[in-house]
Amino acid sequence: MSSGNADLNRITIFPELTPFKKDITSNLNHEIELVREEHFNVVKKIHFLLKNSQDLTLQQKYDYCERQRSFMKLYLNEISRRFLLIKGSSEG
């Protein structure tokens, strides 16, 4: 005689929502990838500007470096978060 707990684990509530959940997850992953790419593109643009602009003052260069640092941190945080998600899903 079973306790009934195993039967509850096999019940799928609203199975019609499963494809919807996959679509949301896929769309969310795509949006995260776009944001990450945008952060990296801003970093590259700032670097190009710093490298090729001879008429910037030291203060302007400093400000651009601070912005570049901020966007690089955002980019690296996203990469780190993605790595941890992938690592966590492969271990479990």
Name the pTM for this structure: 0.57
The verdict on residue 74 lying in a domain is yes
Q: Is residue 54 part of a domain?
A: yes
Of the CA atoms within 13 Å of residue 36, those in its CB half-sphere come to 13
For residue 17, being part of any structural domain is answered with no
Rounded distance, CA 81 to CA 35, Å? 13
- Determine, yes or no, domain membership for 75: yes
CA distance to 32, 44, 64, per residue, from 28 (Å)? 6, 24, 30
Domain-located, residue 30: no
Per residue of the chain (92 residues), give pLDDT as tens.
445 545 444 555 555 556 666 777 777 778 778 888 888 888 899 889 888 988 999 999 999 999 999 989 988 988 888 778 777 766 65
In a domain, 5, yes or no: no
79 in a structural domain:
yes
